[in-house]
Amino acid sequence: MKTVLVTLASLCLMVSPLHAKNDKHNKGNSLPPGLQKKVARTGELPPGWQKKIQVGKPIDREIYSHSKIIAPVDHKGLITVNIDGRIIRLIEATREVVKILK
């Protein structure tokens, strides 16, 4: 019983730094305050923001809300959207960019 508790405690200690690291990275997914104000005022994203979309990284919900679906979800769970003139293929469940087509 003691070994089970010791093992559980050590696992908790090992996982907590990983959890903190993920929280740190998730903060970078939201729009900066100035861009949030601009989106709220005009309803459009500024032109420079689309350069921050990178393959392998998820798209922020605010940016995704401005997308128009071009091709619905396929059998692999991928969706193709148009965001400010860019054609992007994403994993629908995570909004992770798989490929930037245009």
Binned at pLDDT 50, 70 and 90, residue 10 comes out as low
Where does residue 88 rank: exposed (0-12), middle (13-18), buried (19+ CB within 10 A)? Answer: buried
Average pLDDT over residues 56-84: 91
Q: What does the mean pLDDT of the chain come to?
A: 76
Q: Rounded to two decimals, what is the model's pTM?
A: 0.56
What pLDDT, on the 0 to 100 scale, is given for residue 12?
Answer: 55
Asked if residue 62 lies in contact with residue 98, where contact means CB atoms within 8 angstroms, the answer is no
Confidence of residue 57 (pLDDT cuts 50, 70, 90): very high
In the chain, the percentage of residues whose pLDDT exceeds 70 is 65
